Structures are given as C-alpha cells and as structure tokens.
Amino acid sequence: MSSIPSVLDPAVPLPRMLLVVAEGRVPAGFPSPADDFAVKRHDLNELLVTHPAATFMWRVSGQSMIEAGIFDGDVIVVNRALTPAHKDIVVAQVDGEFTVKYLYKRADRVKLMPANPTFPTITFREGQQLIIVGVVTAAIKRFRQ
C-alpha cells in the first residue's frame, strides 16, 4: 500500500520554473497567419496550483479514467483544499487502497465511477472505509521524452 504524499510545508517557498508561453492560443484546425507570436513566461505552479500548501502531484497507474483523458503514466495535480462535489474527479482511499475516479454523490448515495466501461463502479457496503484525499484539478501528459 502506498501512502499519501506529504503536503508541502507552506513556510517553504515553491521553486520557480519559468517557461515560455506564446500569447493567444494555437489553432488545432487551420493556422491563422495573422496571429502574432509574442511570448510571455509562466511558472507552472502559478498555472496549476491554487492552494500550494494543499496541492501535490501523483503519477497515475492504470486505465480506468481514459475517457476522462487521464492515462497510465500521466501526472495528476491533486488539491486537498477543495471540497469534493458530485462529478469531480477525486483521489480516494478505499479500505486502504488508493484510486482515481469520478465522485458520484447524490442524497445518501456515494459511489466512485470509472471513466472506462471495462472497469466496475465502486459501491460501498456497510463497514467499508472511504477517504477522499483530494480533487484532481489537472492532468499532465508527456508525449515524448
């Protein structure tokens, strides 16, 4: 069983890593020759982290969330400061084992639902323990090393 990654100490500043980001958006259809390519530098922490003391990243293992765009090997950004809501993607601990799933939360019913029809929905029986570790706010992909 793995453990929850330790949350960053808020007294320790996060390292800054400024990356160049082109202004505007890049078309995924036909390119617009009229667009200017001005650049600005962004820190990935500023783009991905809203609560530094309550946010961590975790590498995903498995295929249960592929229809949500989260694949084996992706890195997810998990925010423990957010209140989990119905339809959020969450990291949960079920009877000591961690999983990433959609949270189904209606009336008295709570389920964890995969985003892959070949995986079962996790429904809870009397005595089972569910801990929502945090809400997934982003997924980072790597297409090539």
Catalytically active residues, by annotation: 64, 101
The DSSP element (H or E) to which 46 belongs, if any, is: helix 44-48
Cα dihedral 20, 145, 73, 23, rounded to 10, equals: 20
> Helix, strand, coil: what percent of the chain each, to 5?
10, 35, 55
Q: In residues, how long is the chain?
A: 145
In contact, 80 and 133? CB cutoff 8 Å? yes
Distance in angstroms (rounded) separating the CA atoms of residues 118 and 145? 30
Query: What are the DSSP E strand ranges found in 5-123?
Result: 18-22, 39-43, 55-59, 75-79, 89-94, 97-106, 109-113, 122-123
